Amino acid sequence: MWSAFIESFHAILKKEEVNHVQYLDFNSAKIELFKYIEGWYNRKRIHGSIGYLTPQEMEELALHPAA
């Protein structure tokens, strides 16, 4: 099951980031991929598999459920 999630993530990463950027070296690629994952993918991009929330919103709901 996890392999399907990872394959989906890799496809999205390539489609939304990697195929649109020319990285100068390994370190610049590492920084830009970190910014994409932490700045966009986890914080602002909604995910259909978790009710069209961002991963950050889902984590906050799990940590602080409504009373």
Average pLDDT, the chain: 91
Q: Which of 3 and 60 is assigned the larger pLDDT? A: 60
**Token pair in block for residue 50:** 């978790």
| Residue 67 in this model has a pLDDT that exceeds 90 | no
Is residue 17 assigned to a domain?
no
Calculate Rg over the CA atoms of the chain: 14
Q: Report yes or no on 52 lying in a domain.
A: yes
In-domain check, residue 34: yes
Domain that holds residue 49: 23-67
CB 41: neighbour CB atoms within 10 A? 19
- Whole-angstrom Cα distance, residue 11 to residue 58? 22
For the stretch 22-33, pLDDT in tens is 999 999 999 999
In terms of residues, how long is the chain?
67
What is the number of structural domains in the chain? 1
pLDDT, average across residues 29-57: 93
